[in-house]
Amino acid sequence: MNIPSHAPLHLLHQAANGTLATHSREPHGYPYPTALPFAPTSAHAPMILISHLAEHTRNLQSDARAGFLIAHSASDAILEGQRLTMLGSFSPAPANSVAELSRRYLRYHPDAARYLELGDFTIWVMSIERMRYIGGFGAMGWLDGTVLNESEAISEKNELQLLALFSDSSSRPPQLELIGVDKYGCDLRSSGVRNRFTFDKPKESQAELNAALMDCIERHR
């Protein structure tokens, strides 16, 4: 089945936690699954904050190949919800991008600041090769990992301007917080719960993004 690329993209931005499956060092070769919070990069790749001492980190250092599963369901019937399994490899964030990625991660997970302060935790980013998306019964298929970043990402400078525009709006509900923006939608937090507001079509200019955010505010009043 032909799965539109925006379906897994929106799910990736909506979920807050995932399951990382690495290759176990001991006992050798077994899948080693662990639950982790994650955040999407501006290029729509999962990034995780992990300790040097964690078993999954040591597994990745030995074999970078991994799977990452995210799921979202409005009820306990998980098989009726959306699921995305990503296959690829994880690597530590390049030194020149650590500061930007850390700032973005903390917008999605503010409580993680205490881990970054320890100095033992680092950001790792997934390079996705293939994905298996399941949107419910009869809606499933494989996609190439490159479909998530076919469009150029919004720069951090422009994204911060959009976040400021949203925050400064006098009509914004006080409990509604914008934590991320991309050309396909924006990531919100309200009373501690993350949600995704999808745009009707990709917004290619800053003016279009500004208008989309104002529309988002109006729809949440």
Task: Give the pLDDT confidence of 84-141 residue by residue, as tens digits.
Answer: 999 999 999 999 999 999 999 999 999 999 999 988 999 999 999 999 999 876 688 9
Task: Give the pLDDT confidence of 188-204 residue by residue, as tens digits.
Answer: 999 888 999 999 999 99
Label residue 1 by pLDDT band (50, 70, 90).
Answer: low
Residue 74 has pLDDT above 80, yes or no: no
Indicate the CATH number of 156-219 among 1.10.150.20, 3.30.590.10, 3.20.180.10, 3.40.1620.10: 3.20.180.10
Averaged pLDDT, 172-201: 94
Q: Is 29 left (phi over 0), alpha (psi -120 to 50) or beta?
A: left
Q: pTM (2 decimals)?
A: 0.93
Superfamily, domain 6-149: Electron Transport, Fmn-binding Protein; Chain A (2.30.110.10)
DSSP calls for 80-142 = GSEEEEEEEEEEEPPGGGHHHHHHHHHHH-GGGHHHHHHS-EEEEEEEEEEEEEEEETTEEEE
Domain limits, the chain: 6-149, 156-219
Residue 156 burial (10 A CB sphere; 0-12, 13-18, 19+) = middle
Residue 32 has pLDDT above 70, yes or no: yes
8 Å CB contact between 178 and 193: no
Cα 18 to Cα 4, 33, 86: the distances in Å are: 22, 10, 11
Lowest-pLDDT choice from 29-33, 118-122, 136-140, 215-219: 136-140
- Mean pLDDT over all residues of the chain? 93
